[in-house]
Each structure stands twice: as structure tokens, then as C-alpha cells.
């Protein structure tokens, strides 16, 4: 939805018909979804063209969880249409969102919809936000104000509005990856809008190499200025940052990381968060969580969360860049 923060580094000339052992040829497909692009590389002995099936799968995903699709399930929920039944994709994202809300102490919250729209980062019209508006909208924020009852969403007030953009794109990577695994793919890379999941190795027999951009304002072209390369397999990666998704008002940068506790964009020295874990949905949510928490709280959060590694880029008092990463992340890091 939002970033283009990570770019895939394919350090080779791509030959779609190349064959690497008994697993068959590696194939590459790409396209558009969720207002961004996707790229998939996979190895399979017989499935040489999955474009149509992947596109169909991603369209189904949008019909469930895209707030930009006016006919989607989440749009119907937000419009309070009667008798809306959710599907399994919606319920999976909702339950994981509720879990992350709890473990993050409310730093991650999909009920931020009204404030995201008001600040101009959702499908709604950007408004002239002031303290009275923030106070008014905050009364509709909080996961305790919404719940699943069977296949239905029950809200405490009609003004409660969901926005799952900080987790859904990662989940779309998991959905596409699960589809490939059902076909028997043991080696693949799925990237949607910068969120990535990998399994096995690339066609050279090496781990997949993922580049993380240097978080400089004005660095709008993925891959031009890399901070680090992450060499990974059998894991998922998501990055969140504020250096591309912002606008200026009265000389002040308004970023898309909205703090659910205050209702305002988060001001922090933390510029970019890269999370590595098993599920891309979780990596996506945790990356946003850390951006909202700020540097010191985010460090404590990832160090106390099992199965998670992190790479942070933050600004120092002299205007330079500093990095911090978990001990487990060190083995994945390469210099660009």
C-alpha cells in the first residue's frame, strides 16, 4: 500500500527458461495490485505461467480487505451496511490485528481509520485537522470498540472505521506464498509493494538478497541508495519508514505513522524499521508498531518478542544516520 521501501536485488541476467536441477525451471511474473506492484519468482517443473491465477487471487484479496475498493468487505463494514459477512481472509487479518494490538500496548490499531483519513493517508478526503477534531475522533479508536461475532463485525458505534493497510499487504504476500506452496514450490520469492517472503534459494543456489533503501528524504527511487542487504531464506521481511509517505504543512512534515494514543503523526528519530520473522503479515504489523513506538520502546519490544529480528535506521543529533539491530539479525546482513 504505502512504501516501496524494499527493493529486490536480482544480481543476474534473468532467463526464464533456465533449469536448475530436478526442481524444474525458475519463472518470473509481475503485475499490479493494491495500488502498487508485485514480483514473484518461483521454481516449478510444470507450472510455467501462473500470471492469471495470481492476478485472480490478488483481486479476491482486494475484494476482502482493500479500503480503496468501494465494493470490498471492509468498505461495506465501514459504511455500516447491514448483514455483511466476512470471509476467511478478513477474519485472519482481524484476529492478528487484535493480537498485535494487545502485545504492543495499543501502538498498533486498525481502528485508526477516521484519523488516517483525516490526516490524508486513507481513501477519505484530507481535512484541516486541529486538536478538537483529534479529540473527537479518538473516541472511536480502540480495538475494544469492535469485535468479530461469527462471520460478522460488531462495532460499538457506527463511526468506528477500520483501516488494515499496515498489515494487509504483508498478508497478501502470505496468501500468494501459500498458493505457491500448495503447488509444491520449494524455492520462491514473493514481493508485493516491498513486503517480501522467501523460501529456499534462487536459481544460483544462493539465499535471496533483499536491499533496504537508505531513508533519505528525496530518495524516491527504490534501489538507488541502499543502506544494507539482507540475505535470507524461509522468512518474511517488511520495512516501514516515514521518508517517502509524508506531506508538508506550514513547514512541518506530516508523516503517515499515526500514534493511536495521541491521534497525531509520530515524531521520532526512528527513520526506518525492517522486521524479519516467519509470517509477512506479522512482519508488516510489527514494522508499523515500531515506527509508532519510537526508537527506545521499539528496541525493547523486538528484543522481548520471540522469533523476531529487526534492523533500525535512526537519525542522530548531528543529522547523521545510525543503525541498530538485534543479535539474530547480524547473520543476515551484507553491505551493499
Domains of the chain, start order? 61-163 (1.10.3980.10)
Question: CB-based burial of residue 124 (10 Å sphere; 0-12 exposed, 13-18 middle, 19+ buried)?
Answer: middle
pLDDT of residue 250: 54
Alpha helices in the chain (DSSP H): 51-65, 73-78, 88-103, 113-119, 131-138, 165-182, 280-293, 295-303
pLDDT of residue 216: 66
Across the chain, which has 336 residues, the per-10-residue mean pLDDT values are 41 38 84 92 94 96 94 97 96 98 97 88 76 93 96 97 96 98 97 96 95 69 73 94 56 69 86 96 97 95 96 86 94 85
pLDDT of residue 248: 52
pLDDT of residue 267: 79
Q: What is this structure's pTM?
A: 0.88
> Please, which residues bridge with residue 29 across strands?
40
pLDDT of residue 9: 42
> Please, which residues bridge with residue 199 across strands?
188
Under 8 Å CB-to-CB from 136, ≥6 apart: which residues? none
- Calpha distance 135→152 (Å, rounded): 28
- Calpha distance 255→153 (Å, rounded): 30
Cell readout for 82 is 447491514
pLDDT of residue 297: 96
pLDDT of residue 104: 97
- Calpha distance 151→148 (Å, rounded): 7
pLDDT of residue 80: 97
- Calpha distance 322→111 (Å, rounded): 33
Amino acid at each position: 500500500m504505502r512504501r516501496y521501501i524494499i527493493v529486490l536485488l536480482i544480481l543476474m541476467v534473468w532467463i526464464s527458461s533456465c533449469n536448475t536441477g530436478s526442481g524444474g525451471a525458475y519463472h518470473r511474473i509481475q503485475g499490479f495490485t493494491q495500488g502498487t506492484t508485485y514480483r514473484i519468482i518461483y521454481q516449478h517443473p510444470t507450472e510455467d505461467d501462473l500470471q492469471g491465477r495470481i492476478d485472480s487471487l490478488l483481486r479476491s484479496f482486494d475484494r476482502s480487505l482493500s479500503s480503496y475498493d468501494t465494493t470490498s468487505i471492509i468498505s461495506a463494514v465501514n459504511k455500516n451496511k447491514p448483514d455483511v459477512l466476512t470471509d476467511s481472509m478478513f477474519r485472519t487479518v482481524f484476529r492478528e490485528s487484535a493480537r498485535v494490538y494487545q502485545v504492543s500496548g495499543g501502538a498498533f490499531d486498525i481502528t485508526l481509520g477516521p484519523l488516517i483519513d483525516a490526516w490524508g493517508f486513507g481513501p477519505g478526503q484530507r481535512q484541516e485537522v486541529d486538536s478538537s477534531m483529534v479529540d473527537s475522533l479518538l473516541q472511536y479508536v480502540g480495538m475494544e470498540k469492535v469485535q468479530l461475532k461469527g462471520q460478522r463485525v460488531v462495532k460499538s458505534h457506527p463511526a468506528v472505521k477500520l483501516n488494515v493497510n499496515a498489515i494487509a499487504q504483508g498478508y497478501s504476500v502470505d496468501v500468494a506464498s501459500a498458493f505457491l506452496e500448495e503447488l509444491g514450490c520449494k524455492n520462491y520469492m514473493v514481493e508485493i509493494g516491498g513486503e517480501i517472503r522467501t523460501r529456499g534459494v534462487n536459481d544460483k543456489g544462493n539465499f535471496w538478497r533483499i536491499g533496504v533503501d537508505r531513508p533519505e528524504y528525496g530518495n524516491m527511487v527504490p534501489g538507488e541508495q541502499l543502506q544494507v542487504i539482507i540475505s535470507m531464506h524461509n522468512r518474511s521481511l517488511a520495512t516501514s519508514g516515514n521518508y517517502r509517505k509524508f506531506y508538508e504543512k506550514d513547514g512541518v512534515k506530516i508523516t503517515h505513522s499515526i500514534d493511536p494514543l495521541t491521534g497525531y503523526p509520530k515524531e521520532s528519530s526512528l527513520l526506518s524499521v525492517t522486521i524479519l520473522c516467519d509470517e509477512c503479515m506479522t512482519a508488516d504489523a510489527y514494522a508499523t508498531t515500531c515506527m509508532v513506538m519510537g526508537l527506545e520502546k521499539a528496541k525493547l519490544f523486538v528484543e522481548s518478542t520471540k522469533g523476531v529480528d529487526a534492523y533500525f535506521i535512526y537519525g542522530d543529533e548531528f543529522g547523521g544516520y545510525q543503525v541498530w539491530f538485534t543479535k539474530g539479525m547480524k547473520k543476515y546482513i551484507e553491505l551493499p
